Structures are given as C-alpha cells and as structure tokens.
Structure 1
Amino acid sequence: MAQIDRHIAADWIDPGERLRSPRPQPDTSAEIGDLWRILRARRAWIIGTAAILTAIAVAYAMLAPPLYTATAQILIDPRDKQIVSNDVNPVAMAPDGGVIQVESQARVIESDSVLTRAVIAAGLLNDPEFGAPGNGVLARIQRAFDGADRTGDTADATKAEGRAVRALRRKLAVKRADKVFVVDVVVTASDPDKAARIVNAIATAYLQDQSDARAEAATRASAELGARLEDLRRQVNQAENKVERFKAEKGLISASGRLISEQQLAESNNRIVGARARTAEARTRLQQIKDARGTAFGADATPEAIQSPVIERLRAQYAELVSKEADLRTQLGDRHPNIEAVRTQLQGVRRLIEAELNRLSKSAETDFQRAEANEKALAAGLETLKRGTVVSGEASVRLRELEREVDSSRAVYANFLNRSREIKEQVGIDTTNARVIGWARPPQDRSWPLRVPLIIGGLISGLGLGAGLAFGREYLHPTVLSRRQVERLLNAPVLVGLPVFGPRTERSACLGAARLLDRMANLGPRPRSSGQGVAVFVTSGGTDAKDRRTITRLLAAVAVTRGDRVLVIDADLEAGVPLRDQAGLVEVLNGETSVTFAALRDGQSGAMYLPVGDAMRLSRDALDRANIEGVLTAARDAFDLVLIEGGTLSANLRVAEMALTADRMLVVVRGGTTRQRELLDLVEAAESLGRRISGAVVVGAGAA
C-alpha cells in the first residue's frame, strides 16, 4: 500500500477549527529516578554490550598465550661505599635524601648498556620472542626481502642486539615504592624459567655496569693525574733551579738551610755578647783589686779578686805574727827585742802582700785591656757583617719569595702524587653501593591473562559501556521516562498507569483498565443522546502499535466483563490487516454494509470486532465528515463502548475525521520506549484537527 501524506487531511479540515499552539520541544532533562528507568528501558543494549565484551574477554582469556612475571629486588644506597678516606666517588647524602639518585639509577637499569649485557648473558639474540627471525618460509622470505643475507656479521649482530633490547624494554618494568631505596626489576616472558633468567641477568648486568663505571672513572682520573704529574715535576725542578741560580748570582750561600751571612751575623753577635761580659768581669776584678789595697789586712778585706793561694798564705802568716806580737807585748812589753823582731817580720809580710797585690793588679789590668780590645774587634766585625746584611736584604726578600714558590710547587706535586697512587689502588676495589636483596625465582602462576579478573573486567566494562550507550542514545533520541514528561508533552493528564500485560500482571492490568474506563466515562462532554455509547479513539506512536492493540483488547475485555456492549473498530488504514472474504470498516464507510452486519465476535475479549477491510477501495467521499459521523452514530446506538484502534494518528491522517468525531482521544505510551518526538507529532496532528488529547495511559516503566 502506498504511503499517504499525513498532511492530506489539512484540506478537509475547516481552518477556523484549528487550534494552534507553540510546538513543544523534547524534554532532555532527567531526574535521579529516571536514570534507572533509562537503564531498564534500554537493558537490551546494556546486556548485549556486556555479553559481547564478556565473550571477547572469555575468548581472549582462553586463547591468549600465558605470560609469566619474575621480579628481582635491588637495594641502592644513596651513600656510596667509602673504602679509602679520599675516595674518587662522592659519599655525602644529597639534600633530597637520595631519591633523585635512586630514580636515576632506576633509569640506568633501563639503559641500552645494561640491557645489552643482559641480552647477551641471557642468550636472547636467537630467541624469536625477542625479535630473532624464525626458520620458517615466511621468515626466510622476509630476510631475503630486507636484504639481511647481504649484510656483514657485525651489522647482523648489531641489529640482533638492537631488536632484542627493544623487545626486552617492552617487557621490562622498573619500579620503586615511595620512601624506600629498593628498586623492583620486573620482566614478563612466555616461560617462567626464561623470565627469572632474564631478570637475574639484568640485575647482574647492572651491578657489573656500576662496577665497571666506577673502575673506569678511577682509571680515567688516575690517567689524568699521571699526565699532570709530569708537568708538576717539571715546574718543581724549574723553581728549584731558579732558586739556585739566584743564590749563585747574589752570592747567597747557605748551609743547613740558612744563609752563611746570617749564620755569621748570629755567631758574631753571640761572640760580642760574650766579649762584653768578659770585659765587664775584668773591669770588676781590677776595681776590686784596687779597692783592696791598703785594706787587705783587715778582717773583711777578702774580695774574690784577691783570693789567691799566695795571698792566703801571707795573710795567715801576718795573722799569726800579729797574734804573736800581742802575746809578747803582754808578756815582755813594747820595748822587748823579740817584739821588734816580730814587728820586722810583720813589715816583711806586709811588703810581700803588697807586692802580690801589685802583681794581681797588673794582671787584672792586662786582662781588662785584652778583653776590651777583643770587644772592640768583635764590634767592628759585627758592624761589617751588618753592612753586608743590609746590602743583601733585597736579594734575601726575592730569595724567600722564590723559596715559597718552590715549597708550594713541592706541596702540589706531593698531593697529586699521593692522590694518583690512591686512585690507582681503587681501580681494583669494588665500591658499588647497590646489592641484590632478592634474586628472581621462576613464578608458579601466570601473570597474564588473569582469567577471572579479565572476565569480570569484561563484564563490568560491558555494563559500563552499555550504560554509556544507553544514556547517549537516550540523549540523542529521548524517550518518555515519567508521567510528568507525558503530561507536559501531551498537555493532557495521565489517566492511569498499567503494567506490561502478562500472566503475572493480568489482575493488576485488569484493575487498571477498569479505572481507565471509569475515568474516560467521566472525562469530557457526554454523548449527544443519553442512550448512546462512548466512542474512544485510541492512538499511539509508531513503536507502540503492539501495546496499543493490547490495551484496546484489554479495555474491551474488561468492559464486556462489566456487562457493556463493546465494539472494537480497526481504523488503522496504514497497518491494519484485513480479514479475507470479510467486509470491514472500508466497506461500511463505502455504504456497502452496516456496522452491525460486518462486526464479528472476538473470541478472546468477547467484544464485537470490525476489521479494517480493503483500504485500497476507500473513496474520498467515504471519508466525508458527515459519512463518518453517521457510521459512529450507528455504532454508538448499537454499543455502549466503541473503541477505535486508530493506529498512529500522525501517519494515519485519512481517519482524521474519525478522530475528530470520537468522544475521547486516548494516547497509549510505553514508558522508556516511546520516543518523545512521536508524542510531539501526535500533539501536532491533533492540534491540526482542532481538538485536544483527552488523556494518556502509560504502560511499563514510568507508569507508577
């Protein structure tokens, strides 16, 4: 059947009867409760998406080759191991606690130098899993195409190492937890033993690389110091030669580390000090002897200068004679000859003492003169040395400057020499600050694919993706989610909400249908004659055709149960199915038969049923308003309730006069399924006819 333009009825409608209002727009807002309704209404999308992703996850989990992960732990101490006090490697802790240093070492583990060592040690160059070409036909063809057979052995080895390192880096993970200096080296491979072997090879290669790097640094530093030592030695020799030449030019001869002129000056000064002491001593002795003359015979006249054996003996004799004279004077008197003899002896002893004192005085004077002359001679020599020292002062200043340069060059040379020898000894000492605290062992369980988590992840991802698709589709093509949206879009009340008809919901659906019949009976104007029945035009969106027919049959069955005479008219000229060899609505409108004669008994509902008939035979005059009013008037007279199953009004405008003539217009809406755009089209079609929608019935989600 050809599609009829929905606007064809516009020519049949009086323009004065049209009630136009601003066309409402779809309501894209949703409340919290509407979200669940969206998910429930589009559960097929969610379940289907979840099923597809879960099936993919199951297939992958079952068919994917297993992978095994092995882990080794390396402790990296940011404080370097200090073997000697003056180590070439730094030992101080960094201000950040060494975290940057440990992170840098983690990157070193991933470097090409370490991985190349590990690849060679683990024997991965010929492993197909790590880029080695296979022996199949395709592999040979690829090698021939790439020209691998024409390259040299060195180039082939380099390419093999590069491929293996790149493949290993993709399977390697180096991780460090927060606040620890332990680095985890993780490798994933298809074989557990291979994974453990590779991890241990990487750990060993890292330790060896660190040891070699430190030894290389010590060797390079020692070589640089050795090259510098020769220059330092040459500088020391040049400085020493310069000092010796300057001494020779200036006559600055030294002995025992001191200049001879300085030594002579010091010695001359010491000698003149001694000479002055001796001169003073001679002068004092001479003065004492002079002072002792005339008093040497007294009791106190015994100065040190005249204490000689001769004087002592003479004084003893003199004292003895004085005593003898006193005794004789007492015994014999002053005139006795013995006394005179004693006095003569006293005078002789006195003369001897005086003569001895004269001799001592001359000797002391001679010593004084000699000491004084020696002092003057030493003073003259000292003055000569002083004048010579003043003359060589500037040369001495320059000499000391040159000697300081020599001392500085010697100190630098000695430090470099000692440092060079220390570093040479460090080359053979392992100062690596890292150690393996946990070698890898072959794992017992696979690390991938994890079947249960993978399947659960696929299911959850599918549900999430399905929910996202559901919300996206709802946003692009919004459906009816609640009564509020239905009433706003249709500008009509929702009369009742019905569950989806089924064996479990039959009772509640029948009760809801009974309430719907009561509300429609009390809604709007009464029929023109009290004896006539009520004509209800039932329509819906294109996606609700099944629900519309179900609700129409349910209303008919409930009304029959209540004792009403019910007629169901199938007026869906676009999608109605005519009964073979049976007249229907088209034939009644064409005047070929009557309603009561063409109606059939419906075995399920007990109501009378008027099929659509042959829509191809429908004439334009049959759709005249007077003709349709006559047919509906006859139906109202014969039945208490006339249910017109009008299809989708916006697409079935040929029965527009029937919708306009009916007493009630009921719209069937399926919550979560009916698109808002379809309801807006129904509203536009009804307004173009000049009438309002009487009410709506919501089925399923959003009916409450």
Structure 2
Amino acid sequence: MLLPYVPVRPSHPAKDTAADVGDLWRIIVRRRGIVLFTTALFVLGALLYSLLAAPLFSATSQLLIDPRNRQVVSRDLNDSAVAPDGGVTVVESQVKVIESDSVLLRAIAETGLEDDPEFGAPSRGLIQETLQDLKTALLGHHEIERNRRTLALLKLRRKLAVKRADKVFVVDVIVTASDPDKAARIVNAIAKAYLADQAEARSNAANRASGELRGRLDSLRTDVNAAETRLEAFKAANGLIASSGRLVSEQQLTDSNARLIAARNRIAEAKSKLQDLQGVRGAAVDTSALPEAIQSPTIERLRSQYSELASKEGDLRTQMGARHPYMAAIRTQMSDVKRLIDTELGRITKAAEIEVQRAQAAEKLLKANLNELRTESVQTSKATVQLRELESSVQASRSIYDTYLVRSREIAEQANIDTANTRVITWAQPPEERSWPLRGLILSAGLMAGLGIGVGLAMVREYAKPALLSRRQCERLLGAPVLATFPPSLGLRDPSCQKEAIVALDTLRSRFRPPKGTERALVVVVAASAGDAGEQRSLIDVLSGTAVARGDRVLIVEADLNGEDLGKGGLLEVLRGEMSLYAAITADAATGARWLGIGNGDKPVDGAFDRANVEQFLDHVGGRFDLVLINGGILATNTRIASVVGAADRLLVVAQAGRTLQADLTDLDRVASAMGRSAFGALLVDDRVRSR
C-alpha cells in the first residue's frame, strides 16, 4: 500500500558530530576494538624493533670552557675580561666550534673513520673492492678520498651531540656508535682535536699579528731615520750645536750672564772697600775702628808701634811731666809712625782704585759680549721653534717604533703559550650499557602511539558513522524531548525504572484529549532502530507493568511483522475479522497486562492494515483499555504498519546512548514522519544512569 506523503521536517540535523568531553570515553569504549587492535599492532612493532635493532652505545666526554682566559702576561693578545652576559655567548660559540668541520676532520683523521664501514666506507668483499677500484679509475684517488672524508663527516655529525646545561660552562660531547670502545675513542679524539684546534688558532692569530707588526716596523724604522736625518740637517744648516743635551749658544748666554753678575758684584765690593779706605785716612790711628778690608801686616805692625809709643808717652808724662826732653822724642817717633800709616793707607787706597777700574772694565767687556750673545740668541730662537718641532717628531716616531718593537716581540713569544682556559674534566670511558634501543622507552612509546592513533582512528570512525552519545544529542536529532532516561538493567522491580516510567506515562497523557463523546484509550506506538529491539521489548514491559501497578488497564499489541512472535492467532486475524479480540488476547504474567500477538504472517497482510480496519480496531479496544502499547519493531523495515502509526496518538522512540547510530535514528524519524506521525518523545537507555 502507498504511504501518505508528509514533508520531512527540517528542524533537526541529519548528523550531529558535536560531543561533550564526557562523551569521548563513551566513543572510546564503543570503538574499543579499533583502539585495542591499533595499540596491540604498535606494541608488537615496538617489541620486534627493540629485539631486532642493532645496539648502539653512547660515550660522553666533558669539557670545562672558562670564558676568562689565563692571564699569562700582562698584555695578552686575547682579552680575559668576561662578557656582559657572563660568558654564556662565548661558551655557546665554542659549542659550535666543537661541531665545526675543522675539529671533526681532525678527529676523523686521528681515528681513521674514513675506513670504517659504519661511517660510510665500503664493506670488504670482492664485489665491493671491484666497485671501489672502478670508482677510483673513473674519479681519481684524491676525489675518492675527499668523498670518503665528506661521507664520514656527515655520518659523524648524525652521531654527535654537543650539549651545555644552563648556568654552567661544562660542555658534554656525546658520540653514539655500534661499539663502546669505538664511541669512547671518537669522543676523546674530538676533545683532543678541539684543544689542538684552539691552541693552533691562538698561535696562528699571534703569528699573524706578529707578522703584521713586523711589516709595520720596517715602515716605522724608515720614518724614524728620515725624521732624525731632517733634524741633523737642520741643526747643521742653522749652526745649532748641542752639548750635554743643550745648545751651545744657550750655554754661552747663560755663562756670560753669570760672569756679568759676578763682575758687578766685584765692582760693588771694590767700591765699598775704596769708600772705607777714603773714610779712615787722616783719622785717629785706632785699630778697632779700621775695617777688616784694609787690614794688612804692615799697618798692624805700625799700629803696634804707635800703641807702645803712646803708652810710654803716657807713663813719662806722669813721671817727668810734659816738658821733659824724652817726651818730645817720643812725640816725634809717634808722628813718624802715623805718617808711615797714612802712607801705607794711601798705597792701599790707590790699589783699591785700580781694582775698581779693572772691575768696571771687565763689566763693560762682559756686557758687550752678553749683548752680542743676546743678538745671536734672538736669531737662533726662530730656528729653535722649528728645531723643537723636528725633535718632537723624532721623539714621537721613536716612541711608536719602540712600542711596536716591544709588542711585536711579546706577541711572537705568546705564539708559544696557550692562554685558553679549557680543559677536559672527564675523559670518555667505554659504556657498559647500550643507549639504544631502550626497550622500556620504545614499548612505552609504542603503547602511547598505539593508544593515540587508535583513539584517533576511533574518532574518525565515529565521525564517519556516529552513534548517539547524550540526551541533548538525541533531542537535537529527533526534534522531540527525551521523556525518561533508564539504566541498562531495565528491571520491572527497579525503582529507578519505575520512577522514569511514571514520568514518561504522565508526559504521554499530558494534553491528551480523546475525541468528544468517546472514551478511547491512549494509543502509543513504541518504535526502535536497528539494534534496539531488546531494549524496546524491555521498555514496553516496564511501561505496561508500571501502568498496571497504577490501576490502568493495559493492552500490549505486537505489530512487528519482522519479529519472531508470529502465531496462529493475533492482530492480523483480528484486523481481517477471522478471530475475535477476546479470543486472541492472553494475559502477560510478568506485567499483569493483556497481550495480543501479531498472528499468522504467512497470509497477505496488505488488506489487514487498511486504515478503516485499523481505526475500527482502535475504537474497539479504546473503550475496554486505558493504555494501548503497540510494538512497532524496527520502523524503518516495518513500513507496512504505516496506518497503525498514523492512527496512533503518540509515537515513542527507543534509543541507547553509545550504541544507537545517529543515521538509524534519523531514518526512523524520517519514516515516522512519512507515516504521518512524528516522534512525540524518546525513551533513552544510558549506561551512565545507575539503578538504585
């Protein structure tokens, strides 16, 4: 029979991929087969790899790189001051130096890695040696050697790790190889190569700087010689002769000036002496009054005689009187002595006058000589200015030359001194345990990767074929409310199930108004999607049992034509008029309700589900029961009961959270809408609801 056309409701989506955080675990549990299979596959692969992979061993050597160089000499070529960042940049730069080609090639040459098959050398064998000879003939021996070094360098870089921990200047050099002794040997070779490279770099820098300074010394020496030649030529041209570091003209001027001062001092002394002599001539002969400058032995003797005569004259005047002849003789002698003294003083005075004249003549001569020297000094001073400039130029050139010469020799000596403050604090020893493969780590990684990828595949699978996850998702897909949520147990005596059943029954009866003038019972079709048939039957029993317990008359009608409850008499026979209702129904001992089976499905059923037959059947049972529960089965495949669904008062949909597919649920709703009855609500079975 043809179904009535009803437009599909666009109010709800065909697929809802939104999921809450709490629903993720439900997805994982539902798709646990994919997760477990993927995890087992990855763990098995990790186990096989850890058992079959070739073992590797890691050896470590530690170097202490102090950014402050050793201060061997006071003027070191390399700066020993620490950088503002504490020297971290210097140490990080040295890490890159350890990884450089120059250091690694030294280590390769020392350990002979070019001939090691692990580092790219060809394996020993007849075929390999033949191919190697052919390559040598085609490319040349040097090209082959270079290629082998390059390949060994690339292999070594892959097996090398240079690390530095934070806040320390210790660098760890780690090499991984298939043999523990080889790994330790390579690490120690790299450490030695680094130390040798640093010493050679510093020595080369010192030699280069010393060579540059020596090249500059030749030019500086030429400049000094040229400056000294210009100075000597200028002195010779201007008569600037020096003695004891001073010009002769300057020395002469100084000496002449000193002699002139001395001559003037002598003139002053001579004039003073002359004045004293002129002042005492004709005065009384008193030895105490004579100046020391005019004292002489003759005058001293005459003074003594004069004093003796004066003494005798005094004694005789007392004894003989002033008129005694001896007194006249004594007075005559005294006059002669005084005359002799005056004569001697005159002679001394004349000598003093001559001495003054000589001193004045000498002064005049020295003054004239000094004036002449001053005139010459004025002429020499002009040349002296240029002379000082030339001397300063010579001194500056000489000073620079001496500085460069000393620095050149210091740097040349520093080339033989290693000032780098770097040392190996731990030499590598052959490791006892392998570093790879780490079975525990690999298995853990395989487990985590398997779980992660498995969960991802489960999510992808869920997205491709999503299941119903939550109550809100069910309401969005159906466009109808969830009337009740039941635990998976679905027991008739479960208080949780009874409580939810009461809520569902009350909601079904809300706003239900039978046709005026009739006492028709509430007819509810209970439908389900594929996979929910068992829960559908259990929920019908719970609803019927709960309604019977409340005193309702309940009839359970089996309308699932695809079910297994086909019998000799039932709904089909009643609808065709082949059997009365009371003869077909039986009592359900479990729920206390009345039960009507589907009947014999071997006969054609199209005519039985005519609209008139269905409505007549519902009117007939409507006055005898309070609630009619019709088992619609899987509605998408049970479309022949469309008239039953269209004539019913309510359509309930049974769904399971985490199991019912969204596509099946939307198909059920689409089919129900086409049958003329949209879903009134849903009964949801959720394993997150626990029975009490």
TM-score interval for Structure 1 and Structure 2 normalised by the shorter chain: 0.7 to 0.9
Match of 1:12 in 2: 3
In 1, are the aligned partners of 2:645 and 2:676 still within 8 Å (CA)? no
Selected match of 1:680 from 662, 666, 676: 666
Selected match of 1:692 from 670, 678, 692: 678
Which amino acid is the alignment partner of residue 659 of structure 1?
V
Match of 1:283 in 2: 271
Selected match of 1:571 from 561, 565, 570: 561
Distance 1:51 1:218 in 2: 65
Match of 1:50 in 2: 39
> Is 1:432–2:414 an aligned residue pair?
no
Match of 1:6 in 2: none
Which amino acid is the alignment partner of residue 552 of structure 1?
R
Match of 1:375 in 2: 363
For residues 625-655 of structure 1, give each alpha carbon's deviation from its aligned partner in whole angstroms, at most 9, with x where no partner exists. 3466689999999999876453242x55344
Distance 1:578 1:149 in 2: 91
In 1, are the aligned partners of 2:558 and 2:571 still within 8 Å (CA)? no
Match of 1:646 in 2: 633
Distance 2:82 2:338 in 1: 100
Match of 2:259 in 1: 271
1:301 to partner: Cα distance = 2.3
> Is 1:214–2:193 an aligned residue pair?
no
Match of 1:292 in 2: 280
Secondary structure class of the residue paired with 2:531: helix
Which residues of structure 1 form unaligned runs of 5+? 1-8
In 2, are the aligned partners of 1:77 and 1:433 still within 8 Å (CA)? yes
Match of 1:3 in 2: none
Match of 2:320 in 1: 332
> Is 1:192–2:180 an aligned residue pair?
yes
> Is 1:80–2:65 an aligned residue pair?
no
1:463 to partner: Cα distance = 2.8
Distance 1:386 1:40 in 2: 122
1:678 to partner: Cα distance = 3.1
Distance 1:139 1:533 in 2: 95
1:593 to partner: Cα distance = 8.6
Match of 2:85 in 1: 96
Moved more, 515-524 or 351-360: 515-524
Selected match of 2:99 from 107, 110, 116: 110
Secondary structure class of the residue paired with 1:88: coil
Distance 1:632 1:342 in 2: 207
Moved more, 558-567 or 461-470: 558-567
Which amino acid is the alignment partner of residue 49 of structure 1?
T
Kindly tell me: are residues 62 and 243 of structure 1, through their superposed partners in 2, closer, same or farther at Cα, counting changes over 3 Å? Answer: same
For residues 560-593 of structure 1, give each alpha carbon's deviation from its aligned partner in whole angstroms, at most 9, with x where no partner exists. 9999997755424xxx7999xx999999799799
In 2, are the aligned partners of 1:19 and 1:690 still within 8 Å (CA)? no
Match of 1:247 in 2: 235
Matches within 5 A, 1:594-633: 624-626=610-612
Which amino acid is the alignment partner of residue 110 of structure 1?
E
Q: How many residues align?
A: 675
1:107 to partner: Cα distance = 1.1
In 2, are the aligned partners of 1:595 and 1:631 still within 8 Å (CA)? no
Match of 1:552 in 2: 537
In 1, are the aligned partners of 2:560 and 2:638 still within 8 Å (CA)? no
Selected match of 1:237 from 225, 229, 233: 225
Match of 1:5 in 2: none
Kindly tell me: are residues 560 and 276 of structure 1, through their superposed partners in 2, closer, same or farther at Cα, counting changes over 3 Å? Answer: closer
1:283 to partner: Cα distance = 1.5
Match of 2:121 in 1: 132
Kindly tell me: are residues 700 and 557 of structure 1, through their superposed partners in 2, closer, same or farther at Cα, counting changes over 3 Å? Answer: closer
TM-score by length of 2: 0.85
Matches within 5 A, 1:113-512: 113-135=102-124, 147=135, 149-295=137-283, 297-471=285-459, 474=462, 478-492=466-480, 494=482, 497-498=485-486
1:259 to partner: Cα distance = 1.3
Secondary structure class of the residue paired with 1:199: helix
Kindly tell me: are residues 351 and 565 of structure 1, through their superposed partners in 2, closer, same or farther at Cα, counting changes over 3 Å? Answer: closer
Which amino acid is the alignment partner of residue 119 of structure 1?
I
Moved more, 214-223 or 50-59: 50-59
1:139 to partner: Cα distance = 5.6
In 1, are the aligned partners of 2:575 and 2:614 still within 8 Å (CA)? no
Secondary structure class of the residue paired with 2:73: coil
Kindly tell me: are residues 271 and 164 of structure 1, through their superposed partners in 2, closer, same or farther at Cα, counting changes over 3 Å? Answer: same
Kindly tell me: are residues 415 and 683 of structure 1, through their superposed partners in 2, closer, same or farther at Cα, counting changes over 3 Å? Answer: same
Q: What is the aligned-residue identity percentage? A: 47
Secondary structure class of the residue paired with 1:681: helix
Which amino acid is the alignment partner of residue 68 of structure 1?
F
1:419 to partner: Cα distance = 0.6
Moved more, 341-350 or 560-569: 560-569
Which amino acid is the alignment partner of residue 86 of structure 1?
R
For residues 96-136 of structure 1, give each alpha carbon's deviation from its aligned partner in whole angstroms, at most 9, with x where no partner exists. 21111111111111111111112222221122222223246
1:701 to partner: Cα distance = 3.4
Kindly tell me: are residues 499 and 154 of structure 1, through their superposed partners in 2, closer, same or farther at Cα, counting changes over 3 Å? Answer: same
Selected match of 1:669 from 649, 652, 655: 655
In 2, are the aligned partners of 1:635 and 1:642 still within 8 Å (CA)? no
For residues 459-506 of structure 1, give each alpha carbon's deviation from its aligned partner in whole angstroms, at most 9, with x where no partner exists. 233333434444455556543222343344335554554555xxxx58
Distance 1:567 1:531 in 2: 19
Kindly tell me: are residues 246 and 493 of structure 1, through their superposed partners in 2, closer, same or farther at Cα, counting changes over 3 Å? Answer: closer
Secondary structure class of the residue paired with 1:184: strand
Secondary structure class of the residue paired with 1:310: helix
Secondary structure class of the residue paired with 2:532: helix
Distance 2:225 2:293 in 1: 63
Root mean square deviation of aligned Cα: 4.2
Kindly tell me: are residues 138 and 571 of structure 1, through their superposed partners in 2, closer, same or farther at Cα, counting changes over 3 Å? Answer: farther
Distance 2:170 2:225 in 1: 53
Distance 2:328 2:132 in 1: 158
